[in-house]
Structure 1
Amino acid sequence: MIWMSKRRSGALAAAAVLAVAGCGGGGGGGEREQTPAPRGASPPASPSASPLPEPNGTLAKAPRGLAEDLNRTHRAIGPAVDEWVRGDPRRTGPPAAVVHLALRQQRLYRVLAKDRGLERRTLARLPEAVAGPARDNVTAVRKLLELAKPADDLGKFRTQEPPPAGVLLKHFKDAGKRFGVDWQVLAAIMLVETKYGRVKSPSWAGAQGPMQFMPATWRQYGMGGDIRDPRDAVMGAANYLKSSGAPGDYRRALHAYNPTPLYVESVQRHARRMRKDPRAYYAYYNWQVFVVTTRGDVRITGPGARR
């Protein structure tokens, strides 16, 4: 979300949906989802043949169990994404394996984001290939949770299905090429703002569309496009970042988008994961929308959502 003045930008479609940046609960505190835990150890060669994690399954509470779950999920989601991408993500939705594994990762990251000691003890049990991505994602989630303000009126949150992952990726790359900014930064912004367009409702301040522009700012940087159209919104965001210092100074540009170091750090961490492994984008695309409430976290999109 970009405010009319740059004194204070609201990065999220309502503060309560800050968990959009990484969601989940279970043993880490607050989430009201308790069903049987996933089964199986290492995934077989074909990810589609693996037992899928229960969307609301119980998560471990101890570092050993969390580390084993993170490692198992990390090993399974890469091949599952590869299998999906070998098709055509512009035309086909994500397979169930990617949907469920991405949600599992998201929930695990949130558990660790709420407890630094648990995070430290859990990551110490992981190989660096798993600990590195986990460290970035947990930090990104934690930064946004620090901005969250609980909201109990779930009725005001309107959601929708996002455009296909391949279509959005083309928008990010086209806008990046036109304005000379990294597509991963644009993708990270939409992830944080609206979970790739899943959040349809405007923010509490009136920001609109998948990239959360204030209407007055959109008139200046939207180039005559539709604030709610995903392609137009991405182009407008790239234009705004370029005008604010990108690619020379992404931190400055992101601070203009939302002037809080917490937001800037979260976006940069997510963008870094996508630079290191483009498959991370497809996992992020399947992260779901959680609302932080006074009674705990409530997931309002995805399989088994409470809505």
Structure 2
Amino acid sequence: MPIVADDATALLDQLVTAERAVRDPAVTGAELAFMAHLQQLVYRRLIERPDLRDGVFSAIPQDLRGAADLNIAAGADLYLFGPGGARELPAWRIVSAPPMSALLADYREAEAAFGVPWYYLAAVNLVETRMGRIRGDSYAGAQGPMQFMPKTWDMYGEGDINDAHDAILAAGRYLSAAGAPDKIEKAIWMYNHDNEYVDAVMKYAAVMRADPSAFRGYYGWQVYFVTTSGTFLLPVGWSKD
């Protein structure tokens, strides 16, 4: 597991190293997974320690500045959106994400079928379940990798609510019916009635729209859960049972 620095100079070095690595097609396998996790943890540190941001952002390379700004802002949105006051860990099971190539093919299939750009579907998948790693119902009762309420699934889903391909196609179908792509923000708000959620999805999507290789980093982000006792990593294989 990556060890995140606690000073601005070292954090800057870690951020630049991770951002470059996740965009480099020569970086694969365990190295890519490590760098993606490092990227995620550096952004978490910068969100939790705003006193370090100026020292990092004053020296970050210009070509990475836009993505870094969006990632910080999206992460801050999710801190406001998430159930940070939970007293105990959720009744989830953490599984491996589907292969990166399979997810990208599913997003592209949904884009071709329903006109919803793939990066919005990827951003929803990231925010909802970390690309399908979370198995279990939300507090509201939503299910599957794209977190559909059962009644909504009955209207827009085909197949298995827990299957990545079926769920991503259903998300494209739903977002299209809700106004995407022309009214994409409205459609995402219909997907989840929370302004911070919408902002986060839009920002992560903007990063991938500007540079599709950014998906390689997001694919490797892990499941963390915030409770009143602290923040916990829920690794693949974890279960509350």
Q: Could you state the TM-score of these two structures normalised by the residue count of structure 1?
A: 0.73
| Range 98-107 or range 155-164, more displaced | 155-164
Report the AA paired with residue 251 of structure 1.
E
Give the whole-Å Cα distance in 1 for the aligned partners of 2:63 and 2:231.
29
Q: How far off is 1:69 after superposition? A: 1.7
Between structure 1 and structure 2, the one with the greater Rg is 1
Q: When the two structures are aligned, how many residues end up with a matched partner?
A: 239
The amino acid that maps onto 1:228 is N
User: Which piece of structure 1 moves more, 129-138 or 98-107?
Assistant: 129-138
Tell me the residue number matched to 2:105. Answer: 170
**Is residue 78–residue 196 contact of structure 2 (8 Å, CA) maintained in 1?**
yes
In the TM superposition, 1:207-218 aligns within 5 A as 207-218=142-153
Once the two structures are superposed, what CA deviation does each residue of 1:250-304 show, in whole Å capped at 9, x if it has no partner?
111111111221111100111111111111111111100001022221111269x
* CA offset digits 1:227-255 (Å, max 9, x no partner): 11111111111111111111101111111
User: Residue 143 of structure 1 corresponds to which residue in structure 2?
Assistant: 77
Q: Which structure 2 residues correspond to residues 100-119 of structure 1 after superposition, within 5 A?
A: 100-119=34-53
User: Which whole-Å CA distance do the structure 2 matches of 1:69 and 1:241 have between them?
Assistant: 36
Match of 2:116 in 1: 181
Runs of 4+ with deviation above 6 angstroms: none
> For residues 195 and 217 of structure 1, what CA distance do their matches in structure 2 show?
21
State, as a whole percentage, how many aligned pairs show the same letter. Answer: 37
Q: Is the 8 A contact 1:210 1:233 kept in 2?
A: yes
Q: After superposition, where does 1:62-77 map in structure 2 within 5 Å?
A: 62-77=7-22
Secondary structure of residue in 2 paired with 1:110: helix
Q: Give the Cα–Cα distance (whole angstroms) in 2 for the partners of residues 152 and 288 of structure 1.
A: 21
Q: Which residue of 2 aligns with 1:293?
A: 227
Higher helix proportion: 2
Counterpart Cα distance in 1 of 2:184 and 2:70? 17
Rounded Cα–Cα distance in structure 1 between residues aligned with 2:54 and 2:199: 19
Q: Distance in 2 between matches of 1:130 and 1:255?
A: 28
Gaps of 5+ in 1: 1-54, 85-93
- Give the direction of change, closer, same or farther, for the CA distance of 1:114–1:306 in structure 2 (3 Å limit): farther
2:204 matched residue in structure 1: 270
Separation of aligned partners in 1, 2:155 and 2:233: 35
Q: Look up the match of 1:4.
A: none
Q: Which of 95, 115, 121 is the aligned partner of 1:160? A: 95
Task: Give CA deviations for 1:52-90 in whole Å, capped at 9, x if unaligned.
Answer: xxx142x222222211221222233322xx026xxxxxx
Matching of residue 193 in structure 1 with residue 128 in structure 2: yes
Matches within 5 A, 1:78-117: 78-79=23-24, 82-83=25-26, 95-117=29-51
CA-atom RMSD, angstroms?
A: 2.0
| Contact 1:64–1:125, Cα closer than 8 Å, also in 2 | no
* 2:229 is the alignment partner of 1:284: no
User: How many angstroms apart in 2 are the aligned matches of 1:211 and 1:276?
Assistant: 23
Partner of 1:134: 68
Task: Give runs of aligned pairs for residues 239-254 of structure 1, distance below 5 A.
Answer: 239-254=173-188
In the alignment, does 2:168 pair up with 1:234? yes
Contact 1:298/1:306 (<8 A) preserved: no
Using structure 2 for the length normalisation, give the TM-score: 0.93
- 8 Å Cα contact 2:92-2:239 kept in structure 1: no
